[in-house]
Structure 1
């Protein structure tokens, strides 16, 4: 039987906030995680994005803090990106509307002195990226001796982004006697090692099998021969404004992001924005906020730029490019079907993607049929350079499957080629000497 938030013993001030937000029923991970976190155990939670895992750890921690106390943070939440730091900070603000608890979110990309001003008056709960937390600690404006609860959120992305050295640094300065909470969308071998290094003993909570996408996401894939045909398919899909109301398009590089943006800027209705590493931080944050408010219909982004984006009404996720890190597929499609809503994930597969697509299906334990292109979509002939790139990638895949495979691009050595090369060179030299002798005569 499902429990209510009241039965889960969430603080009255939070219940009032939840009622105002419109959250009436706990999600499965909240049902399971809140009692365990409230009991004080160390917990490793495996949950996909969109399952309510942020609120699952925030509600019991905020309930335990009860009221402001001292100047130093008692809860530290580590996140991999500035976007996620902002998002978690906003979630805390919503849940503490009727509470006096003090909180702040700090991250890189802007001067640390601005964040020092947020922290210095006193703080109960701090959300931070590892680098910025270390900056403030080194500057002496942040003391961590009172930390009783440490949360590492999106731990799999932390490892992907190379934050392990910073996590080890922080492990040395945060009091060892604390509650540890680690959350990840997947439970890989690397995550298991991280948990063992940071936590002496922990309970594992897995709401769905690791790497299983949210059930409310409808997944489909189209077989597309090349980049330009992908653009034609995107244009065709986005013509349906009633169905494709709020869309995230994932690409693998900032160059692809710019290319897709140029096309849909001219061809698709509605406001469009673009996110990638070359965009200024304020521009990226403003784009996400505008998308969240419904002011932007289409958001084109790379994987890193979209981390931490929590928008409950995304109708579609389109994978223009297939991610090479297969776990990212789970993260991507988790951008839709959030907070109990349904959503669609559409993936475009070119010939060099089919091998990777099979591996992704194995990871998510689901077969997704490759659909043919709609007849209305113009199929463009693959350009020579793109065709060569696809063939090289297919060659590489075959060599992985069969190390003895020589490949279409393998240059075979012909017997006697070195000898012929020497003879040819000798003959040319001899001919030049003859010509010089004739000119002297």
Structure 2
């Protein structure tokens, strides 16, 4: 079956074929005919199975080949990354017709988005917060919306957007065509569908014999030590046939630290997390999709918006909090029917979390294998060449600055080097042994290099010790006797060292 067999207009069929999209996925085969007829739909399928075109093609075709200016379609998504991704998919489908698509999300300036709305964009893809903001400012008119779609509705529930969704429903006409798509369907989402949808049909495009996880993804679980994880990751990144890789971390700080570590080891890594502004996040995503960066480190905020078909590996640097998060993380690989590998690290403290995920997903891996960067099974499990190390390039060693003695050159007092004269002449250094002035005094002749060349005790030095100078000492050079030491007598009013005048 092709998209033409599903009654999709020829211009959209050609647009998709230009990108190699020819055969529809099961969720698309089941939802497109019902969506074209105007039936309210609850679509449930695993991530990466083509839900976007499952609702996108019907809503584009239902508003006509040349729709009038103004918002006719509203697609609500939970994250900025997913907003950009869905808008790109819809732009591809509408590339051969006059329909205009605009992405409305936070972190970007209002002006460009408002200009596109004023220009008459018919399809709006947006996040709840920015949509409500523009609607309250009367810059976004939702009174003529005939098609509304909630994509990844369960994530909106997790992010606390349920009240915002209810407000948006009050701003669109009561008579409309509504579709809701998600990989999982918790109770509050089903209750929301019952409130705002008219006799919806619940479609599950899952193989009952396949289980909750995708069969085309190999799941590997290791119990790893936190201090060894970066080394293990670096070796996994050298596996045979590895393509683009997504690494999920629990915190923004961990993502920032890991991207710096991997870049230092020689890998091309980029990061997407909440501490980056929207432009930085978009540049990182664009570099990853274009292949300039082949490793993307992300927090869960980006898990729903990474739709890249050639991701071969997903690495959970920390175990996810629940099985739904695990499914969405692992679903970044094995997309569009391709195969993939999902590797999960479980810390000793997180074994209870993994036990719950393993039980919910029926993965039959209750005890993760204790694994280190040198474990032989790590190399055999993931096709890592033997002898691979955790670094692609050697860490550059900075040249150490020459040491300068505090007594050496450059002390700034104009006295020259303390280690001797510039012409290599030697100097004489005296020291008193035993602490007694009358004791023998050793004289060392020390070269400019600091080596002692001779040590001797002479009669002349003995005279010096007795209080006479013959010109060979290092303190007096005139050959005269040393002056007698004067004693201070009298009060402070008299000069120091002078005798009182006689009567």
After TM superposition, the structure 1 = structure 2 runs for residues 175-324 of structure 1, keeping only pairs within 5 Å, are: 175-208=173-206, 212-224=212-224, 226-240=225-239, 242-267=240-265, 269-324=266-321
CA distance in 2, matches of 1:163, 1:374: 41
Q: Please name the residue that 2:69 is paired with.
A: 71
Q: Please name the residue that 2:480 is paired with.
A: none
CA distance in 1, matches of 2:63, 2:363: 42
- Secondary structure of the residue aligned to 1:7 is helix
CA distance in 1, matches of 2:362, 2:218: 14
Return the structure number with greater helix share. 1
Q: Is the 8 A contact 1:213 1:364 kept in 2?
A: yes
Q: Please name the residue that 1:366 is paired with.
A: 363
Q: How many residues align?
A: 373
CA distance in 1, matches of 2:176, 2:292: 42
CA distance in 2, matches of 1:125, 1:246: 31
CA distance in 2, matches of 1:248, 1:279: 17
Q: Give the direction of change, closer, same or farther, for the CA distance of 1:348–1:115 in structure 2 (3 Å limit).
A: same
Per-residue deviation, residues 183-239 of structure 1 (Å, max 9, x unmatched): 111011222122222224211011127982322111111121x21122221122123
Moved more, 178-187 or 194-203: 194-203
CA distance in 2, matches of 1:94, 1:46: 23
1:250 shift after superposition? 0.4
After TM superposition, the structure 1 = structure 2 runs for residues 366-405 of structure 1, keeping only pairs within 5 Å, are: 366-368=363-365, 370-373=368-371, 376=374
Per-residue deviation, residues 334-388 of structure 1 (Å, max 9, x unmatched): 100111211100001122222211211222232236234267259xxxxxxxxxx
Q: Please name the residue that 1:54 is paired with.
A: 52
CA distance in 2, matches of 1:8, 1:207: 16
4+ runs deviating over 3 angstroms: none
Q: Is the 8 A contact 2:312 2:333 kept in 1?
A: yes
CA distance in 2, matches of 1:69, 1:60: 14
CA distance in 2, matches of 1:95, 1:43: 21
Q: Is the 8 A contact 1:145 1:174 kept in 2?
A: yes
Q: Please name the residue that 1:25 is paired with.
A: 23
Q: Is the 8 A contact 2:303 2:328 kept in 1?
A: no
Unaligned runs of 5+ in 1: 379-441
CA distance in 2, matches of 1:168, 1:132: 15
Q: Please name the residue that 1:406 is paired with.
A: none
CA distance in 1, matches of 2:200, 2:234: 49
1:59 shift after superposition? 1.1
The alignment's TM-score, normalised by the length of structure 2, stands at 0.71
CA distance in 2, matches of 1:209, 1:366: 16
State whether structure 2 residue 128 is matched by structure 1 residue 130. yes
Per-residue deviation, residues 33-58 of structure 1 (Å, max 9, x unmatched): 11111111111111222100001111
Unaligned runs of 5+ in 2: 377-503
Q: Give the direction of change, closer, same or farther, for the CA distance of 1:375–1:248 in structure 2 (3 Å limit).
A: closer
CA distance in 1, matches of 2:308, 2:241: 17
CA distance in 1, matches of 2:97, 2:261: 48
Q: Is the 8 A contact 1:112 1:132 kept in 2?
A: no
1:297 shift after superposition? 1.1
CA distance in 2, matches of 1:365, 1:11: 42
Q: Please name the residue that 1:97 is paired with.
A: 95
Match of 2:115 among 114, 117, 124: 117
CA distance in 2, matches of 1:110, 1:17: 29
Q: Please name the residue that 2:447 is paired with.
A: none
Q: Please name the residue that 1:348 is paired with.
A: 345
Q: Is the 8 A contact 1:18 1:95 kept in 2?
A: yes
CA distance in 2, matches of 1:154, 1:278: 23
The alignment's TM-score, normalised by the length of structure 1, stands at 0.81
Higher relative contact order (CA 8 A, sep 6+): 1
Q: Is the 8 A contact 1:292 1:311 kept in 2?
A: yes
1:81 shift after superposition? 1.2
1:290 shift after superposition? 1.0
Per-residue deviation, residues 17-45 of structure 1 (Å, max 9, x unmatched): 11111112111111111111111111111
Moved more, 187-196 or 276-285: 187-196
1:151 shift after superposition? 0.1
Q: Is the 8 A contact 2:43 2:182 kept in 1?
A: yes
Per-residue deviation, residues 250-281 of structure 1 (Å, max 9, x unmatched): 000012112322322222x4311011100111
1:156 shift after superposition? 0.7
1:11 shift after superposition? 0.8
- Secondary structure of the residue aligned to 1:142 is coil
Q: Is the 8 A contact 1:277 1:305 kept in 2?
A: no
